[in-house]
Structure 1
Amino acid sequence: MSPPRTRAARPKDAATLVLVRRQASGAEILMGRRRQDHVFMPNVFVFPGGRVDRADARIRAATELRDEIRDRLVKSCSERRARTLALSAIRETAEETGLLVGIRADIEQKDDVAWAWRAFSRAGLAPALDTLDYVARAITPPGNPRRFHARFFVADGAKAHGRLRGDGELAELDWIPVEGVKELPTAWITRFVANEVRQRLDGGPARERPIPVIKFRKIVAYD
């Protein structure tokens, strides 16, 4: 008798933020190494990001998503969810790197929000969603212990506030030359997104093309 089939885990919404800064020597992106004890993608270099927190939907932002970014995001979720994804990417980045993607604003968040949002308020900042671009969407294939439906955003790291320090989720936080990402231990999707960011930084047709949707290491659709 064959063993009963186990149902594949349902992908959970996640958001990642690729911070980029331009140097005289070329563009750099912020990455860190996940700890060895992580169940999902241990001991590899990643961009800051993580699972969406529904509570992020209540956060007051200084600016909202640009229309063209929102319109692409809502091809796979509701407008409210699109906003929450962007806020979660900013929160995860604040938690894992100490950098705040926001602008000066007289906006106080509620006391019961995540500590990263309270850090924004203490600094006199509020998240700036209009600074985010959207570069890719990826769904972890069945068979993995954790599955995510991830949206990848990009923002100008030179405009982020704070100094580089994290909550311990990522080790070896550093600015990596975009061309050097392929030399690091990374997942395939990380290398794909880094290359997508590089092409968009170079300008040309890549900036205007649709957002790739990745599954099974293939582009299966566009947003």
Structure 2
Amino acid sequence: MTSGDSQHEKPKPPQPIRDAATLILYRRRGDRLEVLMGERHGASAFMPNRYVFPGGRLDLADYKIRPAAPLNPVSATRLARCRGTGPRKALALALAAIRETFEESGLRIAIPAAAQPDARPGPAPANWVAFCNGGLAPDPSHLLYVCRAITPPGRPRRFDARFFAAPAEAATGTLRPSPELDKLSWVTRQETESLPLPNITQFVIATLEDWLQPGSAGDPACRVPFHYMRHGQRRLDWE
């Protein structure tokens, strides 16, 4: 290819923005607030070697699985204000956060499927079979919607991620690494200062304590921060 040809190369199409969900599991040890984080593998296409919360892309199966309890009503109200997020998608996003957390950490937020108010749940979608083993179904009633962020342009993958928080006491299982997330551990805000974190993760950790205060956590009208890029500038809106 000549230099003249290179000047007429078509620009690469923009990366599609995929819906995703992240779960911030937290616990208190005395006056210390700890969150569950892990390191993404070095071979990962998205954020290699960065410390993040469990999470991943919304799947079609997340619309098909039947939860054992309704979505947290505070989260449902907040997500209703989230542009492009109707009730079915809001629930599916919370369920995606639960599924991804199980896949990446081994921790499961679930109760018996028999707790569902009506009818039999039927077979689980393929992506949910391991999660539902033992007659369990996901329980999104513990998940509090706290933040939204869209990956900036120019990254190999882009996501429109909704961040949920849930107490560690709601989860069961044995913590274990996965092909996506390694070096899983409970860390304090101070301990994260020495870790390689994405910018949005730094923001979430810095703000989490405020979001969990009873006056905020129980308020459906509390506005949710929305981070994104426009015209090359970082923007922060509130939904």
- Normalising to structure 2: TM-score of the pair? 0.84
Residue correspondence of structure 1 range 45-64 to structure 2 within 5 A: 45-64=51-70
What amino acid is aligned across from residue 170 of structure 2 in structure 1?
A: K
Given that residues 17 and 158 in structure 2 are in contact (C-alpha distance below 8 angstroms), is that contact kept between their aligned partners in structure 1?
Answer: yes
C-alpha displacement of 1:124? 3.7
Residue correspondence of structure 1 range 121-132 to structure 2 within 5 A: 121-132=132-143
1:174–1:123 Cα change, 3 Å:
farther
Residue correspondence of structure 1 range 89-108 to structure 2 within 5 A: 89-106=97-114
Worse-matched range after superposition: 205-214 or 57-66: 205-214
Q: Larger Cα Rg: Structure 1 or Structure 2?
A: 2
Residue correspondence of structure 1 range 1-223 to structure 2 within 5 A: 1-74=7-80, 75-76=82-83, 77-106=85-114, 110=123, 112-114=125-127, 117-202=128-213, 208=219, 209-216=222-229, 218-223=234-239
C-alpha displacement of 1:101? 0.9
- How far apart, CA to CA, are the structure 1 residues paired with 2:139 and 2:124? 20
- How far apart, CA to CA, are the structure 1 residues paired with 2:88 and 2:79? 10
1:207–1:185 Cα change, 3 Å:
farther
C-alpha displacement of 1:167? 2.7
What amino acid is aligned across from residue 94 of structure 2 in structure 1?
A: A
C-alpha displacement of 1:70? 1.5
- How far apart, CA to CA, are the structure 1 residues paired with 2:122 and 2:190? 39
Q: Tell me the number of residue pairs that the alignment of Structure 1 and Structure 2 aligns.
A: 221
1:169–1:27 Cα change, 3 Å:
same
- How far apart, CA to CA, are the structure 2 residues paired with 1:138 and 1:120? 27
Aligned to 1:183, the other structure's residue is in SS state: coil
What amino acid is aligned across from residue 196 of structure 1 in structure 2?
A: T
- Structure 2, unmatched stretches of 5+, are 1-6, 115-119
- How far apart, CA to CA, are the structure 1 residues paired with 2:227 and 2:122? 35
C-alpha displacement of 1:200? 1.9
C-alpha displacement of 1:102? 1.7
C-alpha displacement of 1:59? 0.6
1:204–1:55 Cα change, 3 Å:
closer
1:206–1:68 Cα change, 3 Å:
closer
Aligned to 1:53, the other structure's residue is in SS state: coil
Matched with 2:3 is none
